[in-house]
Structure 1
Amino acid sequence: SSLRDALDVKHRREQRLEETEEVGENMRIDETSLEDKIDSLLSRLGNLVSTTDEQKVEFETLVEEGEPEEKLEKFLHVLQLEDDEKVRCIQEEFLGDLEVEPQETLGS
């Protein structure tokens, strides 16, 4: 009986480990694709700044479609760029528009 209980516990642990490994594989992000998306966003920001007299661009302008998932993805990319000190995010008032300003010369 004790042996059977121990074997059951071992079996459940092995199943959980397999499930955890499967979830981990599904959650892996293709970093090359992520870097490409971030580079593309930075390039788009540079193009928008260079074609206007403004030094910064409203976040909404960077989002081509109004889908919530896309907004969230672009927002996370902007936060990564800010963390890398490539852009500065400006929000002058609480819940106001978010503006993104490039922090380095963006070559063409």
Structure 2
Amino acid sequence: MLEFPLLNKGSAFSVEERRNFNLSGLLPEVVESIEEQAERAWLQYQGFKTEIDKHIYLRNIQDTNETLFYRLVQNHLEEMMPVIYTPTVGAACERFSEIYRRARAA
């Protein structure tokens, strides 16, 4: 469940879901809403100094929890557009081999 970005809810899995899907011990104990996750992710995002580092961070979120990725972008679209689109995506393409983390599922 945690390996599928479209199904992964991160720390938003309820106690019952954690029990049903055998996720106990694999996630932080606290259950968070998607908004709480997005706020925590936003604070972490702001800690990155370069646009390429922000891009890598967002791609990692997208690769692990697409719901969180799209909520974060929705909440901060104006700030994130230059990072997930031009000009940063061009630099990310040029440095693809260097910043590659994992393959995206089709």
Shorter-chain-normalised TM-score: which range? 0.3 to 0.5
Larger radius of gyration: 1
Which of structures 1 and 2 has the larger relative contact order (alpha carbons within 8 angstroms, sep 6+)? 2
What's the TM-score, normalizing by structure 2?
0.37
